[in-house]
Structure 1
Amino acid sequence: MTRAGFAAVIGAPNAGKSTLTNRLVGAKVSIVTQKVQTTRFPVRGVAMEGEAQIVLVDTPGIFSPRRRLDRAMIRSAWGGAADADAVVHLVDVQAELASGEPGGKAADRRAVHDVQTIVEGLKAAGAKVILALNKIDGVKRERMLAVAQALFETGVYSEVFMISAADGAGVGDLKRRLAELMPEGPFLYPEDQTADIPVRLLAAEMTREKLYLRVHEELPYAAAVETTSLQERKDGSVRIEQTIYVERESQRPIILGKNGQTLKWIGQKSREELIELLERPVHLFLTVKVDERWQDRRELYSDVGLDYDV
């Protein structure tokens, strides 16, 4: 008998949710960068485990919202968890440990605060979820167990897994458990499909990933990529036009780079990955526009399934 269902991965920004999703699927379906909050909408990756199909909902990180986009992302994350057959709360064990040490980074303290926010949210919902302690590489077992024990005592977890999404340690055990939790029924997607995301959105995400890989130090979290045109050509190739939005005129030259070299690099790397993904030649054209209110454009929210009015 086959099984199929949805498993949501929730967690603080930068806990490793996208890396775990990609690892479980065995293919790249969610972007991974050094920037926190790179996942803006739930990406459905499709993972196979024996006779079970696990549709993974990689949610935006749950954190304290300040802007409209933040609120929409958090609504999306909680919605993804509420609708799932199984929920994994991914926690960065290294941040948990580092936050309590002298000279701990502000980012680690924020991550711990976000974990507590999620725990409170789960308590309020009366939910029982799987705890997955991530980034266990080089962490002593007794220290990991202490973090696991403290979190487990909150009463919101049914079981605990110790994993490294980056190198795959422990991920196989977690995947098998998720497969067991999927309800009996026919597969929701063809067995060889790895993602449920429109090509226009996936193409924009590919470019946004390259953008943050290249300029993550200089550019604040204040850019969006929109695929404005995607045309299949008679010769079998695809022409894709995209607009990169930034909030201030001073950010334009950061993305363009000297003599346009940075934008050229972003376009080249994105095009290479799109050729591999689409298995055909790709002509990619990028434009940079300044729009200080891009985060208030309703169509950018509806395009990615976020609630503008939250």
Structure 2
Amino acid sequence: FNKADLLPPEKVQPHCDAYFELVKHDEWMMISATRGDNLDKLLDMVVEHLPQGPRYYPSDQLTDQNMRFIVAELIREQVLRFVHQEVPHAVAVVVEDWKQRREDLTYIGANIFVEKNSQKGIIIGQDGRMLKRIGRAAREEIERLVGTRVYLDLWVKVRKKWRKDEDELRRLGYALPRGKAKS
């Protein structure tokens, strides 16, 4: 039962009793979503009763996406973290180069695409400071993921109206290849 915070406990119980006369339940609890009361217990209860589903990929595989896509998303996440007010979602990232330079060093070259020159300037920042902050934060996340030191080379490029161009979306990895039906 939600909204347990709206009535004193002695007034809630008669409502619960009336409900249980109509509907039988094995388990129930009082929650207040507003105050956060018992939400963690509710989540545990729901998870406990979910049926086991089929395995769609091996248990040691965390995602069906390749590493280039994941790294591009980590970079994009940092761009949006630092400039989300000025460049809301008008950012795409493509990892163009990935080389294992040594056993303990990975080189990653990526392009950050925006739609306007003004957005490019915002991401680069004064004397490149913003791009450096973005790159440092992204590099730290990527190093945790790949388990080696990372040399991250970032370039900011303008592709006008890329979000409205299906071919451009496809090249940037945001649309299905030609001939694939949308579901």
SS of 2:154's partner is strand
Give the direction of change, closer, same or farther, for the CA distance of 1:175–1:299 in structure 2 (3 Å limit): farther
SS at match of 1:221: coil
Q: Which residue of 1 aligns with 2:43?
A: 174
Larger % of strand: which?
Answer: 1
Two-structure CA RMSD over aligned residues (Å): 3.5
Residue 102 of structure 2 aligns to a residue whose secondary structure is coil
Aligned equivalent of 1:238? 106
Structure with higher Rg: it is 2
Give the partner amino acid of 1:254. I
Matches within 5 A, 1:210-225: 210-225=78-93
Q: Secondary structure at the match of 1:265?
A: helix
| TM-score after normalising by structure 2 | 0.66
Question: Which one of 102, 116, 137 corresponds to residue 248 of structure 1?
Answer: 116
Secondary structure of 1:233 counterpart: strand
| Residue 204 in structure 1 maps to residue 76 in structure 2 | no
Do the aligned partners of residues 185 and 272 (structure 1) sit closer, same or farther apart at CA in structure 2, a change above 3 Å counting?
A: closer
Aligned-residue sequence identity (percent) comes to: 31
Deviates more, 1:291-300 or 1:258-267: 291-300
- Is the 2:74–2:138 Cα contact (8 Å) retained in structure 1? yes
AA partner of residue 181 (structure 1): L
The reply on whether 1:299 has 2:168 as its aligned counterpart is no
Match of 1:205, SS? helix
Which structure has more RCO (C-alpha within 8 Å, separation ≥ 6)? 1
Within the alignment, does 1:189 sit opposite 2:61 as a pair?
no
Match of 1:266 among 130, 134, 144: 134
Is the contact made by 2:4 and 2:32 (CA closer than 8 Å) also made in structure 1? no
Write the mapping of 1:23-34 to structure 2, written as runs, cut at 5 A.
none
- Is the contact made by 2:5 and 2:32 (CA closer than 8 Å) also made in structure 1? no
For residues 185-219 of structure 1, the C-alpha deviation after alignment (integer angstroms, 9 at most, x for no partner) is 568432x5544431111111111111111111212
Q: TM-score, normalised by structure 1?
A: 0.41
Pairing of 1:52-201 with structure 2 (within 5 A):
141-142=5-6, 170-171=39-40, 173-174=42-43, 177-178=46-47, 180-183=49-52, 188-190=57-59, 193-201=61-69
Change in CA separation of 1:180 and 1:305 when aligned onto 2, cut-off 3 Å? farther
Letter in 1 for 2:96: T
Q: For the residues of structure 1 that align with 2:33 and 2:63, how far apart are their CA atoms?
A: 23
Gaps of 5+ in 1: 1-132, 134-138, 144-160
What number of residue pairs does the alignment pair up?
Answer: 151
